[in-house]
Structure 1
Amino acid sequence: MSSCQKEKIVIVGAGPAGVSCAAELAKYGITCTLVDEAPKIGGVIYRGPLRQASKLPHLDENLKRAMAALKVRYEHHKQDITLQLQTKVLGPEGESGLLLQTQNQLTQIDYTKLVLATGCHERSVPFEGWQLPGVMLMGGMQLQLKSGLVRPGKKVALVGTGPLLPLVACQLHKSGAQVVGVYEASRFSELAKETVALLNKPKLTLSGLSMLAYLKKHNIPFKYGYGIVKAEGQEKLSSVTVAPYDERWHADLSKAQHLAVDSLGVGYGFVARTQLAMLLGVSHQYTTTNGYVPLLDDNLRSSLNSIFVCGDTNGLLGAEAAIIEGKMAATMLAYEQACLSETAFHTRMRKLKTKRKQAQKFRAGFDRFSARREGLLALTQPDTVVCRCEQVKRQQLDLALQQGAKDLSSVKMRTRIGMGDCQGKMCSSYALDRLHTAGHLDTLGVIRPRFPLDPIPFTLLEKNHEAV
Structure 2
Amino acid sequence: MTDPRVLIVGAGPAGIRAAQTLVAAGLRPVVVDEGARAGGQIYRRPPVGFTRPPETLYGPEAPKARALHAVFDRLVAEGRVDHVPQSSVLGFSATGAHVAGPEGAQIVPYDHLILATGATDRLAPLPGWQAPGVYSLGATQIALKAQGVALGQRIVLAGSGPLLTLVACQLLKAGAEVAAVLDTAPLSAQARALPGMLARPVFALRGVAMRARLGRRYHAGVTLHRIEADATGPVALHWSTASGHPMRTDCDMVGMGWHLRAETQLAGLAGAQFDYNEVWAQWLPRTDRKGRLRPGVYLAGDGLRILGADGAEVAGRLAAAACLADMGRPAPDTAADLARLDRLERFAHGIARAFPWPAAMVRALPDATVVCRCEGITAGTLRATVDHGGAEANRVKSLGRIGMGRCQGRFCQLAAAELIAAHGGTSPAQVGRLRDQAPVRPAPAGPLAALHDQG
- TM-score of the superposition, structure 2-length normalised? 0.92
Which has the higher mean CA deviation after the structures are superposed, 138-147 or 74-83?
74-83
Structure 1 segments of 4+ aligned residues over 4 angstroms from their partners: 461-468
Provide the residue aligned with 1:43 in structure 2: 40
CA distance in 2, matches of 1:143, 1:275: 22
Give the drift of 1:466: 9.7
Instruction: Answer yes or no: is the 8 Å Cα contact 1:230–1:379 preserved in 2.
Output: no
**Which string of whole-angstrom CA distances, capped at 9 and with x for unpartnered residues, describes residues 183-224 of structure 1?**
2112222212222211211221121122123223xxx42111
Equivalent position of 1:197 in the other structure: 196
Residue of 52, 55, 63 corresponding to 1:55: 52
Verify the 8 A CA contact 2:14 2:312 in the aligned structure 1.
Answer: yes
* SS of residue in 1 equivalent to 2:57: coil
The offset of 1:228, in angstroms, is: 2.0
Aligned to 1:430: 415
The whole-number CA distance in structure 2 between the counterparts of 1:422 and 1:241 is: 27
Q: Shift of the alpha carbon at 1:265?
A: 1.3
Q: Which moved more, 1:380-389 or 1:314-323?
A: 380-389
Q: Measure, in 1, the Cα distance between the counterparts of 2:214 and 2:355.
A: 20
Residue 238 of structure 1 aligns to a residue whose secondary structure is strand
Aligned to 2:440: 453
Q: Distance in 1 between matches of 2:448 and 2:130?
A: 33
Per the alignment, do residues 53 and 7 of structure 1 end up closer, same or farther by CA in structure 2, a change over 3 Å counting? closer
Q: Distance in 1 between matches of 2:426 and 2:183?
A: 27
**Is the 1:58–1:172 Cα contact (8 Å) retained in structure 2?**
no
Alignment check: 8 A CA contact 1:159 1:227 kept:
no
Distance in 1 between residues matched to 2:32 and 2:102, nearest whole Å: 14
Alignment partner, residue 86 of structure 2: 86
Q: Please, which moves more after superposition, 190-199 or 173-182?
A: 190-199
Residues 1:362 and 2:353 aligned together: no
Q: Judge which range, 322-331 or 54-63, deviates more.
A: 54-63
Residue 338 of structure 1, CA deviation: 4.2
Q: 1:321 to 1:336 in 2, by over 3 A?
A: same
Map residues 386-401 of structure 1 onto 2, 5 A cutoff.
386-401=371-386
Residue 360 of structure 1: CA displacement? 0.3
- Which residue number corresponds to residue 222 of structure 1? 218
Report whether the alignment pairs 1:326 with 2:316: yes
Q: Aligned to 2:265, which of 255, 275, 279?
A: 275
Residue segments in structure 1 that go unaligned for 5+ positions in a row: 247-251
- Within the candidate set 64, 67, 79, 2:65 is matched to 67
What are the superposed Cα offsets for residues 303-362 of structure 1, whole Å, 9 maximum, x if unpaired? x32100010011211010000000011122223344427xxx5xx211001111111000
CA distance in 2 between counterparts of 1:61 and 1:76 reads 23
Displacement of 1:145 in angstroms is: 0.3
Residue type at the aligned position of 1:179: V
Q: Residue 116 of structure 2 corresponds to which residue in structure 1?
A: 117
For 1:11, the equivalent position in structure 2 comes to: 8
Question: Using a 3 Å threshold, how does the CA distance of structure 1 residues 313 and 44 change in structure 2: closer, same or farther?
Answer: same
State how far apart, in whole Å, the 2-side matches of 1:45 and 1:75 are.
Answer: 17
Structure 2 gap ranges (5+): none
Distance 1:104 1:85 in 2: 11
The question of 1:444 aligning with 2:431 is answered: yes
Cα distance in structure 2, aligned partners of 1:378 and 1:69: 44
**Normalising by structure 1, what TM-score?**
0.90
Structure 2 distance, partners of 1:301, 1:160, is 33
Deviations 1:40-76, CA, capped at 9 Å, x for gaps: 1111111222364443575243232221011122134
Report the more deviating stretch, 71-80 or 26-35: 71-80
Q: CA deviation at 1:396?
A: 1.0
Equivalent residue, structure 2, for 1:180: 179
State the SS of the aligned residue for 1:106.
strand
Match of 1:210 in 2: 209
How many residue pairs end up in the alignment?
448
Q: What residue is the counterpart of 1:260 in the other structure?
A: 250
Cα 1:36–1:60 change in 2 (3 A) is: closer
Contact 2:295-2:323 at 8 Å conserved across structures: no
Equivalent AA in structure 1 for residue 86 of structure 2: Q
| Rounded Cα–Cα distance in structure 1 between residues aligned with 2:417 and 2:446 | 37
Contact kept, 8 Å, 1:9 with 1:114, in 2: the verdict is yes
Deviations 1:111-145 (A, max 9, x none): 11100011111122111110112211111100010
CA contact (8 A) 2:89 2:99 kept: yes
